[in-house]
């Protein structure tokens, strides 16, 4: 008989990035047991062949532990970089004039190539150009089809191929590069559950990626450009989930503007019923230290209090010295916050009004009834996962157990707040639904004999989008003995 792992004791999910420090099957299993609910594979580093063992290790772990496990493939997106210098490196001084042009000749203290024609087409006088993760700041004083003349506002050393950010204009460039298209096809072939789209600027970027994905994975928009904020609602409506990518967002915007934007993005995603991930530098010091700073602990706790669906580790788990400890710490912080009696009230600061549909009305009712009758869990049957998303949006006080006959759906739900997804056979009748819900609740330890649970489903069974049943049942002690899968 398969041994089923009980659900996590916390509701917020932990997403761990894999990399050189966490590329072996043994370490991936350690990260899962330490608290990782989902794994991020960053397509920016390494070639595609190096990613295959990661996909295989996660799927093997899934079979070993009997729990659907989520894989998010993160596309690199359009990386803007300056050209190369004759001496490999220069130093820019505050107040000097510096030119970026389309000449491929090696650069010097006065100029360098900018191999991105779309920037020349969109740039405006007065716009800022940020170099090397924002360490250097240039202000555009003049521009033409082939040159951009700037004044150095913040100087410093600048070396070959350093990154460039253009925060003040919307660039006429696709969110998907040729590399992204190749990586996307590869990730879908390997069975990725989520695709993360980097540097989203507008809703049209989402539409382009969705056409290529063709429903084979869920689509997540990374919010890391100021231009995305101005069209945030439209972008969130177009995607399946969002990430607060604070790295580049903090480069292109003043640091003090990032915390309120983080709350705005989380609130918007929650209100529209999309899972939201808070990411970047959450436990940054644990790249080298076995323990985090108190400020980092507070940062993670804030995201949990705000009701984020997931919190993410980047270099901490991918390339740091303490990957397992970083995941364990993230898990511990989240558990401590959710034990706080005030946590339940704080995650409801965001008002999530139900849409005027039967499914939304039942999801809201399930949360209310679970509290009124002290139910131990909400159990929903779903094909597409939409019922689970609606219930998770309400942030109920009890676990959400999702039973689905579609393995892809079970895996995609791994980024959803409070959800424990189970891949199982479908049911064909109301009586079968009730019996299976009871048995699976006992088997997966979401409830005990004598407990009440709330059931949500759609009749006729097996038809997506028909959630129309809400039922309260009490579990009997002999249900487990009769379980047949």
* Residues designated as active site: 40, 81, 222, 280
- Partners of 74 in the beta sheet? 42, 196
Residues 40, 43, 46, 48, CA torsion sign: positive
Parallel/antiparallel/unpaired status of strands 276-279 and 241-245: parallel
Among 120, 106, 218, 208, smallest CA distance to 166 is for: 120
320: DSSP letter: S
Backbone angles phi, psi at 380, to 5 degrees: -125, 145
CA 131 to chain centre: 26
Geometric angle at alpha carbon 323, from 319 and 326, rounded to 5°:
125
> How far, in Å, CA of 149 to CA of 132, rounded?
18
Which residue from 134, 165, 169, 139 is spatially nearest to 151, judged by alpha carbons?
A: 139
Q: If we measure between CA atoms, which residue out of 15, 21, 51 comes closest to residue 35?
A: 15
Separation CA 415–CA 388 (nearest Å): 11
Element (H, E) at 153: strand 147-154
C-alpha distances in Å from residue 102, one per residue of 82, 120, 126, 336, 423: 10, 9, 20, 54, 55
- Please count the other Cβ atoms lying within 10 Å of the Cβ belonging to residue 294: 8
481 Cβ contact partners less than 8 Å away, ≥ 6 residues apart = none
Question: Omega of the bond prior to 460 within 30 degrees of 0, cis?
Answer: yes
Q: Taking a C-beta distance cutoff of 8 angstroms, is the pair 180, 202 a contact?
A: no
Report the SS3 class of residue 143.
strand
The C-alpha torsion from 161 through 48 and 58 to 34, rounded to 10°, is -10
Q: How many CB atoms lie within 10 A of CB 350?
A: 17
Distance (Å, whole) CA 251 – CA 273: 28
Between CA 469 and CA 139 the distance in angstroms is 60
The H or E element spanning position 472 is strand 467-474
């Amino acid at each position: 008989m398969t041994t089923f792992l009980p659900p996590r004791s916390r509701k917020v999910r932990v997403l761990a990035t894999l990399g050189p420090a966490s590329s072996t099957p043994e370490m991936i299993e350690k990260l899962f047991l330490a608290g990782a609910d989902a794994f991020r594979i960053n397509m920016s580093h390494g070639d595609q062949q190096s990613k295959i063992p990661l996909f295989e290790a996660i799927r093997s772990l899934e079979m070993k532990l009997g729990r659907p496990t989520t894989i998010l493939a993160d596309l690199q997106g359009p990386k803007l970089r300056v050209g190369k210098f004759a001496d490999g490196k220069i130093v820019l001084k505050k107040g000097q004039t510096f030119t970026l042009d389309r000449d491929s000749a090696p650069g010097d203290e006065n100029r360098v190539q900018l191999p991105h024609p779309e920037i020349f087409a969109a740039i405006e006088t007065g716009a800022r150009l940020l170099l090397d993760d924002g360490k250097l700041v240039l202000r555009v004083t003049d521009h033409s089809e082939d040159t951009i003349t700037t004044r150095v506002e913040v100087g410093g050393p600048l070396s070959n191929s350093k990154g460039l950010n253009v925060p003040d204009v919307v660039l006429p460039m696709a969110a998907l590069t040729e590399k992204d298209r190749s990586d996307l096809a590869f990730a879908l072939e390997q069975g990725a559950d989520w695709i993360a789209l980097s540097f989203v600027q507008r809703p049209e970027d989402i539409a382009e990626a969705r056409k290529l994905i063709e429903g084979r994975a869920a689509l997540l928009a990374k919010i890391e450009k100021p231009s995305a904020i101005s069209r945030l609602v439209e972008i969130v409506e177009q995607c399946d989930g969002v990430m607060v990518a604070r790295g580049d967002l903090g480069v292109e915007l003043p640091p003090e503007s990032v915390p309120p934007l983080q709350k705005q993005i989380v609130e918007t995603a929650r209100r529209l019923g999309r899972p939201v991930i808070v990411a970047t530098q959450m436990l940054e010091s644990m790249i080298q230290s076995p323990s985090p700073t108190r400020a980092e602990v507070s940062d993670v706790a804030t995201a949990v209090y705000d009701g984020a669906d997931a919190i993410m580790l980047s270099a901490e788990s991918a390339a740091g010295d303490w990957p397992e400890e970083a995941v364990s710490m993230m898990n511990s912080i989240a558990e401590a916050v959710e034990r706080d009696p005030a946590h339940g009230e704080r995650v409801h600061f965001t008002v999530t009004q139900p849409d005027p549909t039967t499914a939304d009305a039942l999801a809201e009712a399930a949360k209310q009834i679970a509290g009124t009758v002290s139910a131990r869990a909400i159990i929903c049957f779903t094909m597409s996962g939409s019922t689970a998303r609606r219930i998770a949006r309400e942030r109920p006080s009890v676990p959400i157990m999702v039973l689905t006959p579609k393995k892809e759906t079970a895996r995609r739900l791994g980024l959803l707040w409070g959800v424990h997804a189970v891949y199982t056979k479908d049911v064909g009748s109301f009586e079968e639904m009730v019996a299976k819900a009871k048995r699976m609740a006992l088997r997966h330890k979401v409830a005990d004999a004598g407990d009440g649970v709330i059931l949500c489903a759609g009749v006729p069974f097996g038809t997506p989008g028909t959630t129309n049943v809400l039922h309260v049942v009490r579990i009997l002690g002999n249900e487990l003995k009769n379980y047949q899968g």
